[in-house]
Amino acid sequence: MRREAGKAVKLEKLRVESDSNLSRAEKAEAEVKELKNELAKRETDVHNHLNKIQLLQMDLERAEKRADDNKLEKSKSDKDETLNEALQRKIQMLEQQLDAKEHDRKEAVDRARSLELQAETFERKAKQLDAEKLDLERRLEEMTKKYEQVKGELDQTLKDLEGL
C-alpha cells in the first residue's frame, strides 16, 4: 500500500511537472509568434523608409535639373538687350526659387539622413530580434526535448504502473 501511495504521489508530481512544462512551452511559442510579427512589422517599416528615401532623391535630382535648365535659359536670353530687364526680374525670381529649392533640397537631404539613421536603427533592431528569435527557437527546441523526455518517462512510468 505504501508503494502504491508513494507511486501515486510520484505520478501526481510528474503530472504537475508535465503540466508546468507544457505551459512554459506554450508561453515560449506565443512569445516566438509575437516576436515574428514584430520583426515583420519592423521590416515593413524599414522597406517603407527606404522607398521614401528613394523618392526624395528622385525629387532632388529633378529639382537640380530644373535649376540647371533655368540657368541655361538665362545665359541664352542675355543676347537680347530689350529683354534684359524682363530677364533680370525673371532671374531674380528664379534665384529666389532656386534658394527655396536649395532649402527644400537641404531639408530633404536632412530628412533622408534621418531616415537612413532610422533605417540603420531598425536594421540593428531587426538583427537583435533575429538573434532573440534564434535564441527563443533554441530554447523552445530544448523545452520541447525536455517535454518529450518527461512525457516518455511519464508514459513509461504509467506502463510500469499498469504492469503492477
The domain that contains 128 carries what CATH number? 1.10.287
pLDDT of residue 21: 87
Share of the chain above pLDDT 90, in %: 60
58-89, pLDDT tens digit by residue? 998 998 999 888 877 767 655 566 766 877 88
User: In the chain, how many domains are there?
Assistant: 1
Question: How far is the CA of 74 from the CAs of 26, 61, 64, 87, 104, in angstroms?
Answer: 72, 20, 15, 7, 22
Write down the pLDDT at residue 122. 92
Q: Please give the pLDDT value at position 94.
A: 92
* CA-closest candidate to residue 29, choices 128, 144, 113: 144
Q: How many CA atoms lie within 13 A of 51 on its CB side?
A: 6
**92 has a pLDDT exceeding 90:** yes
* % of the chain exceeding 70 in pLDDT: 92
Each residue's pLDDT tens digit, 41-66: 999 999 999 999 999 999 989 989 99
Q: 43: burial class by Cβ within 10 Å (0-12, 13-18, 19+)?
A: middle
Helix (H) or strand (E) holding 123: helix 84-163
pLDDT of residue 88: 85
Q: Which of 1-15, 70-84, 146-160 has the lowest mean pLDDT?
A: 70-84
Diameter of the chain by CA atoms?
122
Structural domain including 104 reads 2-163
Which amino acid, one-letter code, is at 155? D
Q: What SS3 class is residue 108?
A: helix
